[in-house]
């Protein structure tokens, strides 16, 4: 049994945060398991993770059990890959103690338009976190998306589980260090198999933001390559962004006469069952804690194969 006496700088801190800092080799998920099993004590009493500390408190941890749980977690494939789901329909394609990557379905809004609106991804992430940790209280840091996908865009989306991970990932994104590759079905077939669109974009903010090419706009660069021509004068493109402007892919492809199928807001003439055919296919980034390269793939939905 490992015992700690709480010093003044931990006054008011949560017990689970103290354990993670004091046992750096123990993953956060293992800490939660130990708490649920009643193997962490505060002043001789089994404690919950959200218990607040006071100077002079005694914290005791069953260290042998912690090490055994740590070894089993580290050897389990679920630390690097997950086949779980958020809610009933959102696949988790990568998860560890710092982050997770989901395959967001089309039609799901990431953040609600107002706080009373329910059914957003944030609501589902809150429930997923509660199931993982067993905590019902408001978290110090909720599971938080570090970038956006439009409601009708499907595919890979990074979620930070801790504040340090969110800061590091947001910094990587702002510096262009996160590689994002999309698949788009567009109207018409580009005359060039590959190309780069570098037209500046002006974004008009509002209830429905909209970006258009124009003088005085922000720098925006989008690269594309033709995957294959499709029936009905359509094409499948692989698309990547060198910058990250609002609706950048949608606005840029429309600007060269190849709007995304179903994207009526950007001039598409054809429909696609109520959504536009844009999918976040691949992500590659450095892990915010280990620095290791993380590569994930979210296979395009069936409606892409049906084109």
- Beta-strand (E) ranges in 161-272? 179-187, 194-197, 201-204, 210-213, 222-230, 234-241
Entry pTM: 0.70
Average pLDDT score over the chain? 84
CB 209 within 8 A of CB 193: no
Measured CA to CA, the distance from residue 203 to residue 212 in angstroms comes to: 6
pLDDT exceeds cutoff 50 at 73:
no
pLDDT tens per residue, range 11-27: 888 887 788 778 765 65
Question: Which residue is associated with the tokens 């905590």?
Answer: 135
- What sign does the dihedral 160-163-164-167 (CA atoms) show? positive
Above pLDDT 90, what percent of the chain?
A: 49
pLDDT exceeds cutoff 80 at 212:
yes
Domains annotated on the chain, with CATH: 2-75 (3.10.290.10), 78-174 (3.30.2350.10), 180-279 (3.30.2350.10)
- Mean pLDDT, range 85-100, rounded to an integer: 88
259: helix, strand or coil: coil
Measured CA to CA, the distance from residue 184 to residue 227 in angstroms comes to: 10
Residue 123 a catalytic site member: no
pLDDT exceeds cutoff 50 at 75:
no
pLDDT tens per residue, range 245-285: 899 999 999 999 999 999 999 999 977 777 899 999 999 99
- Considering 103, 150, 233, 303, which one is annotated as catalytic? 150
pLDDT tens per residue, range 136-170: 777 788 999 999 898 899 999 999 999 999 999 99
pLDDT exceeds cutoff 90 at 197:
yes
């Amino acid at each position: 049994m490992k015992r700690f006496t709480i010093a003044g700088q931990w006054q008011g801190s949560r017990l689970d945060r103290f354990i993670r800092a004091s046992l750096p080799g123990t993953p956060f998920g293992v800490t939660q398991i130990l708490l649920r099993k009643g193997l962490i004590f505060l002043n001789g009493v089994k404690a919950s993770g959200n218990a607040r500390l006071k100077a002079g408190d005694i914290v005791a941890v069953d260290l042998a059990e912690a090490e055994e749980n740590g070894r089993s977690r580290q050897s389990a494939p679920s630390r690097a890959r997950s086949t779980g789901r958020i809610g009933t329909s959102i696949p988790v394609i990568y998860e560890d103690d710092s982050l997770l990557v989901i395959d967001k379905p089309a039609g799901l809004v990431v953040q609600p338009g107002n706080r009373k609106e329910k059914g957003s991804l944030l609501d589902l992430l809150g429930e997923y976190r509660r199931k993982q940790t067993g905590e019902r209280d408001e978290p110090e840091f909720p599971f938080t998306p570090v970038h956006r996908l439009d409601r009708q865009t499907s595919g890979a989306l990074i979620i930070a589980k801790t504040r340090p991970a969110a800061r590091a990932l947001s910094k990587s994104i702002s510096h262009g260090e996160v590689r994002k590759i999309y698949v788009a079905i567009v109207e018409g077939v580009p005359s060039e198999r590959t190309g780069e669109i570098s037209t500046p974009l002006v974004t008009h903010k509002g209830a429905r933001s909209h970006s258009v090419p124009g003088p005085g706009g922000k720098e925006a660069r989008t690269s594309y390559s033709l995957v294959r021509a499709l029936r009905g004068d359509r094409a499948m493109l692989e698309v990547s962004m060198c910058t990250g402007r609002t609706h950048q892919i949608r606005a840029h492809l429309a600007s060269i006469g190849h709007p995304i199928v179903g994207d009526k807001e950007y001039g598409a003439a054809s429909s696609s069952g109520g959504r536009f055919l844009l999918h976040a296919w691949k992500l590659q980034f450095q892990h915010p804690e280990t620095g290791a390269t993380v590569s994930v793939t979210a296979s395009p939905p069936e409606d892409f194969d049906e084109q």
